[in-house]
């Protein structure tokens, strides 16, 4: 009887510890725009990923996917991982992750279309299944969406509990001529995210990446 009670106590403590770890874990899903000339910006994305790999802790989850013609697909996930608790194993995971990203950025071909909405739908689904404590979707893009004919993206985003951060939102030629176009594009995405009960931020200063996780 005493052994049974002791076992139950240990089990409860173990499960409580797992629940607490999950509560404090982060889930980060990063979307990389590969359309047009923006594909040339991907070298900057590598510095962001280096920061994430150096910052994320054991039990955190990281996934990177590309935004292309039809981004609502697991096929667009370039690399994904949940870091083990053992630091030595986690470090090996991070090195393997970095190799996948380096290979992708060296071979990537520019996409004709930019399905940002599809990428967001996929990110939401992935992080909900990962069941992390805090959820972050990073959008590395100029935020100009161009959908292929036949692709419908009019389903509202369900973003309660999500932080959506736009990174390196470069200005297009048309934006330089008329800044209102740039401001309107950013405002439209803010409205979509906040309309789905998500938190929205823009971080263009890549020298201050700590702002990604600022509360």
Residue 134: give its domain's CATH number: 3.40.50.410
Distance (Å, whole) CA 197 – CA 208: 26
The answer to whether position 6 is within a domain reads no
11 within some domain: no
Q: Is residue 14 part of a domain?
A: no
Number of domains in the chain: 1
What predicted TM-score, i.e. pTM, was given to this entire model?
0.88
Q: Has residue 111 been placed in a domain?
A: yes
End-to-end CA distance of the chain: 48
Task: Please count the other Cβ atoms lying within 10 Å of the Cβ belonging to residue 171.
Answer: 13
Q: Is the dihedral of CA 145, 151, 155, 159 positive or negative?
A: negative
Residue 7 resides in a domain: no
pLDDT digits (tens, 9 = 90+) for 80-93: 999 999 999 999 99
Q: How far, rounded to the nearest angstrom, does the alpha carbon of residue 87 sit from its chain's CA centroid?
A: 23
Range(s) of the domain holding residue 135: 26-213
pLDDT in tens, 2-59: 555 444 443 434 444 544 556 779 999 999 999 887 888 898 999 999 999 999 999 9
């Amino acid at each position: 009887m005493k052994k049974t009670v002791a076992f139950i106590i240990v089990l409860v403590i173990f499960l409580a510890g797992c629940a607490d770890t999950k509560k404090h874990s982060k889930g980060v899903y990063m979307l990389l725009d590969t359309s047009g000339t923006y594909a040339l910006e991907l070298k900057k994305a590598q510095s962001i990923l280096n920061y994430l790999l150096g910052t994320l802790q054991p039990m955190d989850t990281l996934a990177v996917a590309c935004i292309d013609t039809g981004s609502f697909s697991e096929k667009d996930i370039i690399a994904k991982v949940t870091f083990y608790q053992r630091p030595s194993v986690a470090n090996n995971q991070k090195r393997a992750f970095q190799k996948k990203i380096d290979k992708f950025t060296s071979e990537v071909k520019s996409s004709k279309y930019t399905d940002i909405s599809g990428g967001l739908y996929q990110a939401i689904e992935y992080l909900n299944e990962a069941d992390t404590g805090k959820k972050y979707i990073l959008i590395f893009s100029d935020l100009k969406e161009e959908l292929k004919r036949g692709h419908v993206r009019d389903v509202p985003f369900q973003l309660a509990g999500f932080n959506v951060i736009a990174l390196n939102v470069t200005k297009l030629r048309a934006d330089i001529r008329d800044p209102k176009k740039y401001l309107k594009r950013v405002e439209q995405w803010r409205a979509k995210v906040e309309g789905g009960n998500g938190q929205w931020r823009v971080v263009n200063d890549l020298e201050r990446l700590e702002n990604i996780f600022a509360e």
